[in-house]
Amino acid sequence: MKSILHEILENPQFEEGVAWKQRDFKANEEIVKQGELGETLFVLEEGVLRVTGNVELEDKKNMQTGICDLEKGSIFGETCLYESSPRMATVVAVTGGRVIEVDGFRLSIFLDAHPVLGYLFYKYLFEISVTRLNKANQRVENLMAWGLKVHDIEKYL
CATH classification at residue 13: 2.60.120.10
> Residue 51: its pLDDT value, please?
93
- Residues 66-89 have pLDDT tens digits of 788 999 999 999 887 778 889 989
Query: Rounded to an integer, what distance in angstroms lies between the CA atom of residue 130 and that of residue 108?
Result: 21
64 lies in which domain range?
4-113
Work out how many domains the chain is built from and give that number. Answer: 1
Average pLDDT value for residue range 104-122? 95
Judge whether 123 lies within some domain. Answer: no
Residue 15 within a domain: yes
Mean pLDDT of 51-65: 74
Query: What pLDDT, on a 0 to 100 scale, did the predictor assign at position 132?
Result: 82
Q: How much is the pTM?
A: 0.81
Percent of the chain with pLDDT over 90: 60
Beta-strand runs (E) in the chain: 20-25, 30-32, 37-38, 40-46, 49-56, 62-70, 75-76, 85-86, 90-93, 97-103
pLDDT value of residue 109: 94
Q: Is the pLDDT of residue 156 over 80?
A: no
Helix, strand, or coil here: 154?
helix
Average pLDDT, integer, range 111-129: 94
Query: Quick one: 36 exposed, middle or buried, by C-beta within 10 A (0-12, 13-18, 19+)?
Result: exposed
